[in-house]
Amino acid sequence: MTDAATIQPPRSQWADVWSQFRSHKGAMLGLFVLSLLVAFVFIGPLIWRVDPTYVNPDAAKMIMSRNKPPTLDHPLGTDQLGRDMLARMMSGGRVSLAVGTVAMVLSMVIGSFVGLMAGFYRRLDGPLMRLTDMFLALPLLPLLLVLMMLFRDALASSLGPEAGTFLLIVMAIGVTSWMHAARIVRGQVLAIKEREFVLAARSIGVPSRRIILRHIMPNVISSVMVAATLGIAGAIITESVLSFLGLGFPPDFPTWGRLLYDGVEYMQLYPSRVVFPGLAISLTVLSVNYIGDGLRDALDPRIRGR
Amino acid sequence: MLTYTIRRLLLAIPTLLLISLVIFLLVDLAPGSPMSEIPLTVPPEVRLKMIQAMGADQPVFVRYLLWLKQFFIVEPSYIIDGWFGTNLGGDQQRILSWQSRAPVFDVIGQRLPQTLTVVGTAYLVGILIALPIGIYSAYRQYSWFDQLGTFFAMVGYSVPTFFTGVLFIVIFSVNLHWFPSIYDTTLKVTDWASFWKQVHQMALPVMVLALFNAAEISRYTRSSMLENLGQDYARTARAKGMSERTVVLKHVLRNSMIPVVTIIALGMPAVFGGAIITEQVFKVNGIGAALIGAIHANDLPMVQTLTFIFAVLIVLFNLIADILYGILDPRIRYD
């Protein structure tokens, strides 16, 4: 009946996930758009070699070069100090994406650690989950604003305005966004640790630490990945909200959110000044959300199409 | 149910106390304290007096306990005094804003109506948009309407409110001149003309917030409807010859509303948070704007009190969601 040619060679789990992922149109489009944006901010500056912070030292020339509409020299025009908007968009995007990624990694590390500990050790479960509940009940946006207000100047003076703000924003976002990952991981660990292979590992005397690392971690990694994708989107939005409220990065170290904030003053005359950064943020978040959607469908066949 | 409610209410007290302690300590122990804002040219004895006048020379726990007493005992009694003309508050000290030297709760009382009008209307409009969309896209799963709804929900969920707000200003008030871009809080609604003006100026902020809320709620409605449409009781209702309308809008919808109602309750605090941004964009003079102003002015009592009020809102609506869930779904028993 079945000859050897029709039997597919065995595929690894990730090849399977990838083939599932490819069938999700939105996710593939999201991946495409995100790659374009990443290429724009990381490869773009190699081609478009204009200094984003360059202000013409000659005052008269600087005034002449302000608020230019798009031209060949400045494809997106210039801002109120005559700085090139295209170059600023590129450097702003680098910071925005970096903040999103690093904050996400931090929140996933905290979240997975809390989730693993709470799920694996019964004694820690109660206290850690109460802690998670308490963090979930905190008013996060007001607290983030307060954190920024209180620590920004102190950190900026000790580490320099760029590194200080970056560290503070990444830490603040990471510390306030790990709760969902912790809950998801805990739920999975609770189910996995009752499975036979964990019992088998324990019966041959594998220490708890290695059970967690070798046997449980690989099984929760897929849901952490989905949470991580959605976490990037959340972190980028949070950073741009902080910048938009004037409590984020300083103006000479712009992110997309900061560019939008700076553009709001001029939006009646030069709407493109707010539209481009806003569009960049929205497209990034939208494509990341679609990728997360596709990833969730690919990793969990039960919820496909929901 | 009643015991559960009482237990949850009692459990909320330590949570709130802990949160208030966290907020208080965080604001208080941070390096950028307002004492450093006093100019160095001020002579030391005057500086000492200023700090004393603000009550900032006491140890942290004294100030924390005083603040707790003011928040939970003094301020409510002042509110009761205001309502019934009693004199419970006496001349006890209230929480004073460092910015304006006015009681923080008076400022909040002045700001809250603007926030509630805008946020409340927006949430209502959002729910009214979301429910029909969610119901219809579940009923016609994978139709073009469903695809479009999914796409718009994704967009509404992904595009941050500050960008939609700014975009709407550019489109509707700068280019089309349909709506004003700034919310006028001094406007008093007395007749039809001023009512119309109020509707006009509320249109943009309400639209921005409603769009954001509708995206999330419509998704939840859709998935909850989908789950229930496939249940046996829906098939039974169809099999005994009930009209499609009755099956979907009575049998399935009522059951699908259970999780949706809790999501609506859980979303309330987030809406207040979103209002902080929207208020900033449209210059609405609400509590979100008050918080931003207080943060920029280093007005610690105001920041602490407002942040704690946000925390109370979150805990309160979590509680409401849990209790509603128990009341609406008789299968849930919390004993």
Check: CB of residue B314 under 8 Å from CB of residue A137. Answer: yes
The number of C-alpha atoms within 13 Å of A175 and in the hemisphere containing its C-beta is 11
In sequence order, which residues have a C-beta less than 8 Å from that of residue A213 and are 6 or more positions away? none
The C-alpha of B330 sits at a distance from chain A's nearest C-alpha, in angstroms, of 25
Tell me which of B1 and A247 has the higher pLDDT.
A247
Indicate whether A245 pLDDT > 80. Answer: yes
Question: What is the spatial distance between Cα B57 and Cα B148, in angstroms, rounded to a whole number?
Answer: 60
pLDDT(A283) > 80: yes
Interchain CB contact of A260 with B (< 8 Å): yes
Q: What is the pLDDT of residue B55?
A: 66
Using a CB–CB cutoff of 8 Å, tell me whether A233 touches chain B. Answer: yes
| Å between A172 CA and nearest CA of chain B | 13
Q: Is A139 on the interface with B (CB under 8 A)?
A: yes
* C-alpha separations of A96 from A103, B31, B126 in Å: 11, 26, 30
pLDDT at A65 over 80: no
pTM (two decimals): 0.85
Rounded (10°) angle between helices A272-299 and A85-120: 30
DSSP code of residue A268: T
Between chains, do A146 and B303 touch, taking CB under 8 Å as contact?
yes
Facing B158 at nearest CB: one of A141, A264, A282: A282
pLDDT of A109 > 90? The answer is: yes
Burial of A161 (0-12, 13-18, 19+ CB in 10 A): middle
- The predicted structure's pLDDT at residue B335: 57
Using CA atoms, how far apart are residues B290 and B284, in angstroms rounded to an integer? 10
pLDDT at B59: 75
pLDDT at residue A182, rounded to an integer: 92
- Average pLDDT over chain A, rounded to whole? 83
This complex has an ipTM of: 0.81
Give the tokens for residue A288.
């990341």
In this predicted structure, what is the pLDDT of residue A19?
82
CATH of domain B113-328: 1.10.3720.10
Query: Is A108 near chain B, with CB under 8 Å?
Result: no
What average pLDDT does range A249-262 have in this prediction?
83
Residues of A with Cβ-Cβ distance to B226 under 8 angstroms: 306
Q: How far is B125 from chain A (nearest CA, A)?
A: 23
Q: Given B30, B159, B280, which is nearest A245 (Cβ)?
A: B280
Predicted local distance difference test score (pLDDT) of residue A1:
47
**The pLDDT value given to residue B167:** 87
**Helix (H/G/I), strand (E/B), else coil: A189:** helix
Give me the total of CB pairs closer than 8 Å, taking one residue from chain A and one from chain B.
129
Contacts of B78 (CB under 8 A, 6+ apart): B88, B89, B94, B103, B105
Chain A residues touching B303 at Cβ < 8 A: 142, 146, 149
Alpha-carbon span A40 to B155, nearest angstrom = 22
Please list the alpha-helical segments (H only) found in chain A: 13-22, 25-42, 44-47, 59-64, 85-120, 122-137, 140-159, 161-175, 179-192, 196-203, 208-210, 217-244, 256-264, 272-299
Is the pLDDT score of A137 beyond 60?
A: yes
Crossing angle for the helix pair A85-120 and A217-244, nearest 10 degrees? 140
Task: With CB atoms and an 8 Å threshold, state whether A153 touches B32.
Answer: yes
Contacts with B22 (C-beta within 8 Å, 6 or more apart), sequence order: A134, A138
CB nearest B27 (choices: A134, A150, A286)? A150
Name the residue ranges covered by the structural domains of chain B: 32-96, 113-328
pLDDT band at A305 (very low <50, low <70, confident <90, very high): very low
pLDDT of residue A271: 79
Residue of B155, B159, B169 with shortest CB distance to A267? B169
Q: Residue A142 and residue B18: Cβ atoms within 8 Å?
A: no
Mean pLDDT of A15-37: 86
Selection from B59, B94, B119 nearest residue B278 by Cα: B119
Residue A116: what pLDDT? 92
- pLDDT score for A284: 92
Over 80: is that where the pLDDT of A166 sits?
Answer: yes
Which top CATH class is A98-279?
A: mainly alpha
Preferred mutation among B36, B142, B158 to probe A, highest tally of A CBs within 10 A: B158
The nearest alpha carbon in chain A to B318 belongs to: A137
Please determine, for residue A28, whether its predicted confidence score (pLDDT) is greater than 80: yes
Question: What one-letter code names the amino acid at B216?
Answer: E
A235 touches chain B (CB under 8 A): no
One digit per residue, the tens of pLDDT, for chain B of length 335 reads: 778 888 888 888 888 888 888 888 887 776 655 566 666 677 777 777 777 776 666 777 787 888 888 888 777 777 777 777 776 666 677 777 777 777 888 888 888 888 888 888 888 999 999 999 999 988 888 889 988 988 888 888 888 888 888 888 888 887 788 887 777 777 777 778 788 888 888 888 888 888 888 888 998 899 899 888 888 988 999 899 888 888 888 889 888 888 888 888 888 887 777 778 888 888 888 888 888 888 887 777 888 888 888 888 888 888 888 888 888 877 776 65
